[in-house]
Amino acid sequence: MRDKSILDLIDTCGVMDTDQLTQLLFRFPSGKRKCQQRMKALHDRKQVKRTRLSLDTPTIYYQGKFPGQIHHSLALSWVYVWMMRKQGEKLQTWETEQLKEFGLRTDALCSTYIPMLKESRWYCVELDRGSVSRHRFDKVDIYDNLYLKEGFADSKLMQRLDHPQRFPRIIIITDSQKRVPKIQEHTTKSKTKVKYEVFSLDQIRSLSRS
């Protein structure tokens, strides 16, 4: 049963490393070692492939063709782990590269259920590779414009999301700590009701382990 859960996670995210799998399925004192044992067994049975980016990083597991943009894929998997472990919310759906019909391509589109409020909440996830790019982060402008066009009850976007009570929240994760205040400053200049949350990738990893 646990092997099936592992394979389902890798299928959903495309790629996961030992640390990520441990946080979701092996949260007990000897969990990391047990995770490594299970992954070795799955690899020996040729059910997963594996690689490492360096000797001091966790082993990465995937199926089929090796994912392109591996750092981007691993960062997105950390967001998935965080969303799965978020207190007070239960992850319902997770899709990548969505909303192309609205002139954008979210890195991830997901929904959660909040039992206390008895409602679903949608999130658009955007990753910023600030460590390798100095370009201005322009997604705030894009989502502001989307809100102005599609932020009403019966818009095509809200129909696509099964008529949620609110416009999706936008989660922005950057792998550059220095970019966090710059992106936050940009979000505060928004003149719409879009809710933005900005985190560093290190923060997401820390929250996933708490």
- pLDDT per residue over 37-80, tens digit each? 999 999 999 999 999 999 999 999 999 998 888 999 999 999 99
pLDDT exceeds cutoff 90 at 82: yes
Strands of the chain, DSSP E: 15-17, 49-51, 60-62, 90-98, 106-114, 119-128, 169-174, 196-200
pTM of the model: 0.94
Query: In terms of Cα–Cα distance, which of 96, 101, 100, 102 is closest to 126?
Result: 96
Q: What is the pLDDT of residues 151-189, one digit of tens each?
A: 999 999 999 999 999 999 999 999 999 999 999 999 999
- Determine the Cα–Cα distance for residues 184 and 173; give it in Å rounded to an integer: 11
> Facing residues of 66 across strands?
none
Q: What is the pLDDT of residue 134?
A: 67
CATH number of 2-67: 1.10.10
Residues 6+ apart with CB under 8 A from 40: none
- Determine the Cα–Cα distance for residues 171 and 199; give it in Å rounded to an integer: 8
Taking all residues of the chain, what is their mean pLDDT, rounded to a whole number?
94
Mean pLDDT along residues 71-92: 96
